[in-house]
Amino acid sequence: GAVVSQHPSWVICKSGTSVKIECRSLDFQATTMFWYRQFPKQSLMLMATSNEGSKATYEQGVEKDKFLINHASLTLSTLTVTSAHPEDSSFYICSALRGSTDTQYFGPGTRLTVL
Amino acid sequence: GENVEQHPSTLSVQEGDSAVIKCTYSDSASNYFPWYKQELGKRPQLIIDIRSNVGEKKDQRIAVTLNKTAKHFSLHITETQPEDSAVYFCAPKDGGSNYKLTFGKGTLLTVNP
C-alpha cells in the first residue's frame, strides 16, 4: 500500500508556457501533500505544503504566483509552473502523508525541461 | 528552521563491509528521523525510520541509532551489496506539527564488488 503517482513523468516545454504536474495518492487519502524540487546531484528542497481544501504554504523564496498549487481532493494535488523559464528545469517530486503518520510516501517525480 | 548536516558526502566500501552515515540536526523538538534511499532518476524510498522514544531500530542489514542529547542519528548498513549503491538522505522532521522534513545533502554510497 501507500502508492503515489505523478503525471507526466517527463515534459519538455517552451519558455513562457505553463506546465501542470499531477500528484495522486492511489490507495489512500492524503490531506497533506508536499512538493519538492531537486536539481542534479543535489538534495530535495521543499517548495510548499499542500493541504486539501485550503491554500498551500510556501517555503521562503518560493514564488507562490509562479508555482500554483491546488489540492482539490483527498487524492490529488497539482503543481502548475507558470511562465516557465530554463532555470525552472528540474526534477519535481511530490509526497503524501498517509493518515496522521509522519511517513511521507514519494511519487516517481517529473522531469521538467524548459527550452 | 531545522539545520541538517550529513556526513560523509561520499562513501566507497568493498562488498561485505559495513557503511555508516551520520546526520546531525538542530531542532531539539524533532521526534521523527527517517532515512531515504534514492537511486539515480528514481523516487526517494524510505528504508528505515526511528522515533524519539527509542535509541535503536534494526531491520535485517539496516539499523538506525539515535542520540537525542547530542542531536544526531546514524544509518548503519552491514554486509553491503552492490545493490546498496545509491544516494542516502537523512530527513529529520521539524519539531512543529506541520510534518515537514528537512533533507540532508545526501551521501553517495558506492559498494564495489
What are the pLDDT digits (tens) for A1-32?
789 999 999 999 999 999 999 999 999 999 89
Q: What is the pLDDT of residue A101?
A: 79
d(CA A34, CA A95): 5
Q: Tell me which residue in B43, B98, B103 faces A49 most closely, judged by beta carbons.
A: B98
Give residue B98's pLDDT: 79
Cis before B113 (ω within 30): no
CB neighbourhood size of B91 (10 A) = 26
> Strand order in B72-77's β-sheet?
B4-7, B19-25, B72-77, B62-67, B56-59
Higher pLDDT, B17 or B94: B17
> Strand, helix or coil at A13?
strand
d(CA B80, CA A66): 44
Three-state secondary-structure class, residue A87: helix
- Percentage of chain B modeled with pLDDT above 90: 90
- Alpha-carbon B2 to chain mean position: 16
Q: Do the beta carbons of residue A61 and residue A46 sit within 8 Å?
A: no
DSSP 8-class letter at A83: S
Q: Is the pLDDT at B97 greater than 70, yes or no?
A: no
Residues B45-94 have pLDDT tens digits of: 999 999 988 899 999 999 999 999 999 999 999 999 999 999 999 999 98
- Name the residue with higher pLDDT: A53 or B71: B71
Burial of B30 (0-12, 13-18, 19+ CB in 10 A): buried
Phi, psi of B108 (to 5 degrees): -85, 110
Chain B hits for A57, Cβ within 8 Å: 98
CB A29 within 8 A of CB A23: no
Q: Do A102 and B100 touch (CB under 8 A)?
A: no
The answer to whether residue B1 scores a pLDDT higher than 90 is: no
pLDDT tier at B34, thresholds 50, 70, 90: very high
Cross-chain Cβ contact A104/B89 below 8 Å: no
pLDDT of amino acid A54: 87
For chain A, positions 83-102, list CB contacts with chain B under 8 A.
91, 93, 97, 102
Q: Looking at beta carbons, which residues of chain B come within 8 Å of A32?
A: 99
Query: What 3-state DSSP class applies to A88?
Result: helix
Amino acid B95: pLDDT:
85
Cell of A86: 530554463
Contacts of A44 in chain B (CB under 8 A): 44, 89, 91, 103
